[in-house]
Each structure stands twice: as C-alpha cells, then as structure tokens.
Amino acid sequence: MVLQLVKSKRQCLEAIPASQPNQGYSGVKTAPCDFNNDKQKWNLGAYLISRDDYNYCLKYDTSRRSSVVTMGPCEYCTPTISDQYFADCSTVPDYVRITST
C-alpha cells in the first residue's frame, strides 16, 4: 500500500536527500503538501513507514520522549523492539505521534 501524503498540521512529511548522491536520506521535514512531490510518498507495511527508492525507513529513539524522527536503512526484525516500529494508534496504548515543530 502506498500512502501519498502523511499530514501534520496541513503539512506533509518530506524525505531530505543525503548530501552525497545515491546515499539515501538524511532525515525528514514538514513541507506544504504537493501531490507531485515523490519525496512525500511513503509505503506503509509490516509496521514500517518506508521509501522505495533507497529502502529507507522512518525511525525514532525509543528511549526518549519527544524524539526527533529521522531516517535510516530499513531493519526487518522483531517489530516491537525496533526503532522503526509504527502502528495504528488506536491499537497501541503508548504510541508515537509525529508533529511538526
């Protein structure tokens, strides 16, 4: 399933390319939603939010509240112990909420 836009306060999450070409992504930012912007298109599956082009996933520091969401190579491991685990908030009592700063 491809999610075209992840909205936060009328903004969308956008992948920030790494400074070196073909090295994936260095992070994410919020930007005005643009249906034609491929960097705002995300895949949801297996509790991961990922990009197809470099197999990079959103991740966060599981040990810190208000952790900054970043990106890194997708880790396909036990989802509940991964720093890349994202689930439908209605099914999990303690959850990560992505907001813009």
- CATH code for position 26: 2.80.10.50
Whether the CB-CB separation of 95 and 89 falls below 8 Å is answered with: yes
Of residues 78 and 68, more confidently modeled: 68
Total domain count for the chain? 1
13 burial type by CB count under 10 A (0-12 exposed, 13-18 middle, 19+ buried): buried
Give pTM, 2 decimals: 0.70
Residue 94 domain flag: no
Structural domain that includes position 79: 2-89
Residue 101 domain flag: no
Residue 45 domain flag: yes
Whether the CB-CB separation of 91 and 85 falls below 8 Å is answered with: no
Secondary structure letter of residue 20 according to DSSP: S
Residue 83 domain flag: yes
Q: What is the pLDDT of residue 3?
A: 43
Structure tokens at 76: 């396909």
Residue 73 domain flag: yes
Residue 98 domain flag: no
Residue 32 domain flag: yes
Top mean-pLDDT range of 1-5, 27-31, 48-52, 86-90: 27-31
Residue 95 domain flag: no
